[in-house]
Amino acid sequence: MVKVSDIKQEDIIRSAIEVFSQKGFEQASMEGISKQAGVSKRTLYKYYPNKEALFEVIVDKLICRFDDQCRLQFEPSVSVLEQLVAFTVRQMAYMTTSDFQMMARLVMTECMKCPESSKVLMARFASIEDSYGLKCWVQEGIEAGVLTVDDVALAIEQYIGSIKAVVFWPQLLGHLPPPTEPAVRLAVESAAESFVARYQNGE
């Protein structure tokens, strides 16, 4: 059974994302967030002492939701292309949600404004940029003799970067609606085909 307190916190977090997105972190206030969430300031402060703490909780929650999906094991008997496409489509589907994009936009803005807070925020987002759950998968593919990759980190960065150039950065920076599922799949399939052509060993 879901606790009332859990529901209230979810309402607060959702409202805070909206307020931060509309006003920016600097102009956002705890009073504005409490009004948006439909809770008293007393209730808001009960869970979060200030907007900085609330902002950090939001970032952590978004990243934890992403991490929950990072479960991938290399299967030598399954097509490399099939594995890569299925996993990446699932990951990018989350990366391109409006909530994640709003938070990514906020993090970018805050990083440009405040060098100190940028260190904390970028450290959290680095866990996503560094892995996407693919490092271990690629390493397992190498150990299985299916893939040959000299620089795993670079290969993943180039792979993900080519996808984000089409279905992440234009939407994020241009304030465009999230891409459609077919658009995401097309971008992923194209990048995956290039990855497999380059790194998969011949039969």
The CATH number of domain 58-199 is 1.20.120.430: no
Are 165 and 183 in contact, with CB atoms under 8 Å apart? no
Which is nearest to 200 in space by CA: 140, 145, 135, 136? 145
Mean pLDDT score, 65-69 = 56
Q: Could you report the per-residue pLDDT of 159-189, keeping only the tens digit for each?
A: 999 999 999 889 888 888 889 999 999 999 9
Q: Where in the chain is the domain with CATH 1.10.10.60?
A: 1-49
Q: Could you report the per-residue pLDDT of 10-27, keeping only the tens digit for each?
A: 889 889 888 887 887 788
For the domain covering 1-49, report its CATH number.
Answer: 1.10.10.60
Percent of the residues in the chain that have a pLDDT greater than 90, as a whole number: 39
Does residue 64 surpass a pLDDT of 70? no
Are 90 and 197 in contact, with CB atoms under 8 Å apart? no
Which is nearest to 178 in space by CA: 168, 190, 163? 168
To the question of pTM greater than 0.75 for the whole model, the response is no
